[in-house]
Amino acid sequence: MAMNARPVATFRSLVLPAAVHAWAAPGQTWPDPARLVRLVMVDSCLWTAATLAALPLLAAHVLHLPLDLRPSGLIFFSGMLIYNLDHLADSHMEAGGGDRWARGIGRSPLVGIVLSSASAICTMLWLAPPAVALVFISYALVGVIYGLPLLPPGMSKSGRQRLKDIPGLKNMVVASSVSIAAVGLPLAYSAVPFTRLAVLAALFPWVLVMSNATMCDVGDLQADRRSGVPTLPVLLGVSRTRLLVLSLNVLLFSVFAFTTASGQLSSHPEVLLSATVAAVYSRLVTERTAKHLLSLVLDGCTFIPFTLVILLHETHG
């Protein structure tokens, strides 16, 4: 038995990620479902990338475009590439460093995810119309410029500032980048020009992403205060941050309700539902809400309007 156990253990250690191998080792108990979901869905950013991938379908519905999975695929792989590149960079900062996902899966699988995502993106861009590449470059540039030291030094800065150093700007830039992709990619794949309707379509994912990211920052309030990270909850406090998110969603609800009532736009209950859900969770989230629960639930709220869009498309199709 001992002679057979060693090859099996060696095979398991080579094939399974470190975290899974630790749970599968003799004498170890399997993790509870919540912990497994946290590792596989939340820590890997698979869940976040999937919710971002739903946004082009929401925008396409507002734009009256046919549902096309190609924009969603490009955004999904872009998200997996960016997030796991960040994990990989963190894992190289110091020996034994990196976050829980990087430590659990190991660097080699991380490299594999990054290379696979990059290959998928290159393949999709090669097969796509030229306009798609222009949109991809546009939203990628927003993300790159966000982290580059392009601005003059601030009052307390020794070097040049980045956009991300400007207090409260982070979520606005992220929401803008995502909105460019969510609206621009369906238009580019369909060869439809940018119109005033596209502005309304972009407002929807912008408010949705801005609301989710800002309320997630509420859950990180204490850690961000200790680290000196100038997020909106740190700058405004929880009450004013809630009021900001509520105001954004009241604005979104009002704009779509008015354009529908005035006959300028067809009815879009998924937008009204999304704004209502965001307004509700803006009142429920506190700085004591668990971070992984925030990531799972708030990002998951994207699938509520997404499900309604699919049902509406099938009904109207």
Q: How many angstroms separate the CA atoms of 41 and 47, rounded?
A: 5
189: nearest Cα among 66, 55, 61, 312: 66
Residue 23 banded pLDDT, cuts 50, 70, 90: very low
* DSSP per residue, 23-36: HHSTTPPPPPHHHH
Kindly tell me if the per-residue pLDDT of 83 is higher than 90.
Answer: no
Q: Which helix (H) or strand (E) holds 159?
A: none
- Cβ neighbours around 315 below 10 Å, total: 7
Q: How many angstroms separate the CA atoms of 12 and 21, rounded?
A: 7
Kindly tell me if the per-residue pLDDT of 31 is higher than 50.
Answer: yes
Structure tokens at 66: 């046919």
Domains present along the chain, CATH in parentheses: 44-316 (1.10.600)
Q: Which tops the pLDDT comparison, 209 or 300?
A: 209
Kindly tell me if the per-residue pLDDT of 233 is higher than 50.
Answer: yes
Structure tokens at 95: 């020996």
> For 46-80, how does the pLDDT look when each residue is reduced to its tens digit (9 = 90+)?
788 888 999 999 999 999 998 899 999 999 998 88
Instruction: Report the chain's terminal Cα–Cα distance, integer Å.
Output: 62
- Cβ neighbours around 227 below 10 Å, total: 11
Q: How many angstroms separate the CA atoms of 163 and 146, rounded?
A: 5
> For 99-114, how does the pLDDT look when each residue is reduced to its tens digit (9 = 90+)?
555 555 556 677 778 8
